[in-house]
Amino acid sequence: MELGLLTAAFPDAELTEVADWAAAHGFSRLEVACWPRGEGAARRYAGVSHIDVTALDEARGRELVDDLASRGIRLSALGYYPNPMHPDPDVRADVADHLRALIRGAAATGVNLVTTFAGGEQTKTPDQNLVTFAEVFPPLVRYAADHGVRIAIENCPMIFTHDEWPAGHNIAYSPRIWDAMFDAVDGDPTLGINLDPSHLIWQMIDIERVVRDYGNRIYHVHAKDLQIDREGLYRNGIMSAGIGWQVPRLPGHGDVDWRRFVAALYRAGYDDAMIVEHEDRAFEGTDELVKRGFLLARATLAPLMG
């Protein structure tokens, strides 16, 4: 297994600068943030674009991959985390267009993996959102399959603020919903999971069982930890869906048992990239704090991998 990082934490740096720093500090893989150029940040870490996928063709893709290789870096995926099931049809169409551009870019670079969200409408039940999923995703999955690219959907519920409550902006958060998603695309292996264990902690979903049950669908892994703030939980209760008591942390600073998680991944046959997703507010605000956060994550994870 190889350690890497998601480039979204470096919004003002060039991709080559991020690659050089990563390689110099023990990271060998990059999941590259690829939002549309000029879109701006709708939320923290969104809107970052380190590759203009609309300008990628096979020649440019090969040039990019060769340049990163010369710096000791390989791609793990091209990442874009919008809401593909946005209630505004124009936004939904724009998101689908950019996801198709990401798919073409993933084929051009040979990484052949796109990481994203399923999306969802916060006012709808999971089953209502699954009806929309069955309309939106089968054409995207067929498009990806035609380009030899897989899609890995992250299991983040996207419920962090009251404007996302109660259902969140990404329905792909539980085993029941994953099963329904796979059914909606007739079991096509093009669709899989970008597994982030932090989102399972506060939902009380057994992490090791998830890895065991869905090992053949885990195409990418995010390394992010989560601390349950017990005072916040006491004050807000579980009906707040995590608001006020789920606290994103760096690996080793929360409640995930990383030794057992990594061991479970190996047992399930996953031996690819583990990408640190930095969302720990205690290590934000300056470039040096962000870098220190990544180094702390490395100190936790690197001894478990090889």
Is the pLDDT at 72 greater than 90? The verdict is yes
Is the pLDDT at 30 greater than 80? The verdict is yes
Structurally, the chain folds into a number of domains equal to 1
Place of tokens 């085993």: 175
Give the per-residue pLDDT at 162. 87
Mean pLDDT across 62-85 = 98
Tell me the residue range of the domain where 231 lies: 2-304
Mean pLDDT across 132-149 = 98
Is the pLDDT at 36 greater than 70? The verdict is yes
CATH code of the domain containing 189: 3.20.20.150
Helices 207-214 + 258-268 axis angle, to 10 = 10
Mean pLDDT across 70-82 = 98
Is the pLDDT at 238 greater than 90? The verdict is yes
DSSP-based three-state secondary structure for 304:
helix
Residue type, 119: G
Q: How many CB atoms lie within 10 A of CB 9?
A: 24
Give the per-residue pLDDT at 38. 77
Mean pLDDT across 157-172 = 92
Residues 123 and 161: beta-carbon distance below 8 Å: no
Measure Cα distances from 225 to 66, 248, 249, 255, 282 in Å: 32, 6, 5, 7, 13
User: What is the C-alpha to C-alpha distance for residues 39 and 90, in angstroms, rounded to an integer?
Assistant: 15
* Higher local confidence (pLDDT), 277 or 43: 277
Place of tokens 């063709």: 57
Give the per-residue pLDDT at 202. 97
Give the per-residue pLDDT at 46. 82
Q: What does the mean pLDDT of the chain come to? A: 96
Give the per-residue pLDDT at 161. 87
The answer to whether the Cα torsion of 251, 39, 158, 262 is positive or negative is: negative
Mean pLDDT across 97-105 = 98
Place of tokens 């702390």: 296
Is the pLDDT at 41 greater than 60? The verdict is no
The answer to whether the Cα torsion of 24, 25, 26, 30 is positive or negative is: negative
Looking at the whole model, is its pTM more than 0.85?
yes
Shortest CA distance to 132 belongs to which of 181, 174, 90? 181
User: What is the C-alpha to C-alpha distance for residues 58 and 219, in angstroms, rounded to an integer?
Assistant: 23
Q: 20: Cβ–Cβ under 8 A, 6 or more apart, which residues?
A: 71
